[in-house]
Structure formats: C-alpha cells, structure tokens
Chain A
Amino acid sequence: MKTNKKTSLAGTKTTLGLPGFHRPNKHWGPLAAVILLLGALQLQVFVPTVLAESSTDGISGGARPWSVQVDRVDPGDVGLDPSFGAAIYENLLEELTKTEQFKQVFRSGDRNANDAPGLLILKITVQKYTPGSETRRAVTTVSGATKLNVRVQLATREGKVVQEHVVDGNVRFIGGNLRATHNLAHNVAATLKKSSLPEQAAVLPEKETGNISR
C-alpha cells in the first residue's frame, strides 16, 4: 500500500511539475509554429485589403465632394443683436470645419470660393429670438432662457435649394447668453451631417460637373 501511494504521488508530481509539463508538450512545438505561421499569413492577406479599402474612400473623395460657403446671418425682423449674428456665423464656420463633411469651408465674400467646384451656399435666417438673462437663469433656474430658432438653407450657386431645415439653439441653465449661438451652430452642423447631400451630377449644371471630373 505504501509503495502504491508513493508511486501515485510521484505520478502527480511528474504531471504538474515544470519538467513534466515540457516533456509531454514537446510535440506541440511544431504545431504551435504552424499556427503562428498561418496567423501571420492571414494578417498579411487581410490587413492590406482593409487598408486599401479605407484609403480608397479617402482618395475618391466620394464622402466629401461639396464645399460650402457660409453666408452672413440674416437677422430677419426679430431684432437680433449684432453680436449674436456674428457669433452664430463664427461658430458655424468652426462647427462645420469640425464635422469634416465638406471639402472646404469658406467665409462669406471669400474670393477663393469663386473657383471652388461643387460649392453650396449656407444661408441662415433667424426666425425667432428670445433674449435671456444669465442672472435670471442663475437665480430662478426655470426662467431666463436664451432661445434661437433659425431656417437653414443649403443652395447651389444658381440658387437651387438642396436642403432646408429649421434648427433651434438654446441656453437654459449654465452659461452666458452667447452660449446659445454655439449650441445652435453645433445643432446646425449635426443636422447637416445627418442628412445626406445629393450627388453633384443631379444638382449642378453640366459645365460645373465637367470641371469636377477633370
């Protein structure tokens, strides 16, 4: 019995110990090497394909064929403060650049836009404006919100409206009144990003489309 116990213990030791582990796994060495080799081959085959796919997207420019020129904000007849008009305009330029939806973002009056192929004009008309109060917001929490409501139009050079949206921008709790213009610009950029722009061939006259393909 004693001898048997010893043998069984020795058996366990050989299986669990480090040298014991290496000895039975000797055969797995070549197999592991083959698996690694196959893995490497797979990577070599698939990674360039994925890279090629992503680079093709960038080269074709299919995602961003349009450029945009932001027009000056039309204050409408709501008595918009000049600072609000300027802030909406400047924030829009920033937000549209951030989204990377357009190839180029031009300012109103920029001469470089004259030669840009596939140009859309972004027009903003203020429809509603509620001037708020930062102090009132801070004291009451529920009143004093600054609210803006604008009509956004994307049109071609020829004046054909491609897209039209109505967008809001408010500041209700924390932040100065001009924060509403930032929120509005962010919402406008997000709305435009969500909506898909039409194919240039369908919208632009033949002459301009020809310029683009060149």
Chain B
Amino acid sequence: MTSYQVGHGLAFLTVLLSLSPASIGQNQSEAQSPVPGSAIHVTQVLGFEGAKHNATGELKIQVGVMQFQHDGSTAAQVSISSIQDIFVEEGDKQLGGTAMTLGKTAAPYGGGRVVSLFAHKKYDFLTVEYLDNSGGFHGAIFQLEKGQGETFKKTLVANGAHITPPIERTPAQSTLEVKNENK
C-alpha cells in the first residue's frame, strides 16, 4: 500500500466522519419542535450574568423569570419585566469546535476544506437586552436550534417582556451569515 493510497483513505475517512454528525444534527433540529414554556437546550454565548461564556444548558421561562441552568450548576435568572428588547437572527456555524478545526487542517489533499463545505449548521441567535437591579444594561446572546428562536421570543413577550416595535427600529436584516452566502 503506497502513501498516496493511505492519504486518500484518510481524506475519505475524514469526510465520512464529519458528514455523519452534521446530518444527525440536522435531523435532530428538524425533529425538535420547541414547546412554549418548556426548557430548551441552548448555548449561552456571552452576556448572561452569572453564566460562563459558551456554557450549554437549559433555558426556560418560570413565573416571571427567564432562567438559564448550566449542566449541574445553580441557575442564573433575570426578571422578564426587566427585558428591554429581544432579537432573533439566523446564523451559520462550523461543527466540531477546535478539535475538528485541527483535524481539518491536518487532513491531506485539501480534505479539510471539503469537510468544511459540508460540516456546518444553521442556528438561531437570540439576543436578550435587559437591565439589572442597578439599572445597568446587559446584552445576552444565546445560540439555539434553528426555528426555536422566534417561538421563545413569542413566549417571552407573552410573559411580559418588552420589545421595541419593528417600525421604531432601523431596518436591519440578519447579516450573521446570510449576506455573504447570497453574494
């Protein structure tokens, strides 16, 4: 067996491995339909007081509060009435994190680039702007499965969260990924 064949084999294997979690992830996101009021699995990207960056956990609405509970730790929460505005944007992210990025870089014959082409997934990004007890402004960003953002936003509004009507806002289309994808 030559090194050329081994290289091809490795590249094929990397593509195969990367595609499987991507497709599984897509199926899961399609299968999950968020039920209003129930907990949804999210990643707290940043900004939510009392939670670490990129912490995964459950986001739920309880009596008058929005609560985020990181796996096995105490819950951080804010009063829904303190929420000033909510935004939902659609975004696209590469799967696999740092380990996958390193794997893709090491893959021979540009195999990593081929993997990157398929190993990405669309998410909803929920931005919640709220005030703390001393009136300090916070901006928390959560990463949700695609389609869950709008439902959660509606649930928050139904529970008393304040949002700025779209007319008052300057028209801003989500540009996290979409703009470049359309070019």
Q: How far is the CA of A31 from the CA of B141 in the complex (A)?
A: 70
B134-157 residues with Cβ-Cβ distance < 8 A to A are 134-141
Instruction: Kindly list chain B residues whose C-beta atoms are within 8 Å of the C-beta of A90.
Output: 46-47, 138-139
Stretch touching chain B among A3-11, A126-134, A163-171:
A126-134
Contact: B179 with A110, CB < 8 Å? Answer: no
User: In the complex, are the beta carbons of A109 and B141 less than 8 A apart?
Assistant: no
What residue of chain A has the Cβ atom nearest to residue B48's Cβ? A90
- Which of A112, A134, A144 gathers the greatest number of chain B CB atoms within 10 Å? A134
Judging by beta carbons under 8 Å apart, are A131 and B47 in contact? no
CB-CB under 8 A from A83, the residues of chain B are: 87, 89, 91, 125, 127, 141, 176
CB distance from A111 to the nearest CB of B (A): 5
Using Cβ atoms and an 8 Å threshold, which residues of chain A touch B117? 135, 139
Specify which of B101, B113, B174 is in contact with A81 (CB 8 Å cutoff).
B174
What class of interface size applies to chain B in its complex with A?
Answer: 35 or more
* Distance (whole angstroms) from the CB of A82 to the closest CB of chain B: 4
Judge whether B24 is part of the interface by a CB distance below 8 angstroms: no
Residues in B with CB closer than 8 Å to A79 are: 172-173, 175
B19 contacts chain A at the CB level, 8 A cutoff: no
Closest chain A residue to B125, Cβ basis:
A83
A86 touches B141 (CB 8 A): yes
How many A residues have CB within 8 A of the partner chain?
36
CA distance A81 to B181 in the complex (A): 16
Decide yes or no whether A192 CB sits under 8 A from chain B: no
Within 8 A of B (CB), among A113-162: 129, 131-136, 138-140, 144
Interface-central residue, B93, B104, B125, B136, by most chain A CB under 10 Å: B136
CB pair B127–A86 under 8 Å, yes or no, is: yes
Q: How far is the CA of A187 from the CA of B179 in the complex (A)?
A: 26
Query: CB within 8 Å of B: which residues of A?
Result: 72, 75, 77, 79-83, 85-87, 89-91, 106-112, 129, 131-136, 138-140, 144, 174, 176-178
Q: Which chain B residues have a beta carbon within 8 Å of chain A's beta carbons?
A: 45-47, 85, 87, 89, 91-94, 101, 104, 112-113, 116-117, 120, 125, 127, 129, 131-132, 134-141, 170, 172-177, 179-181
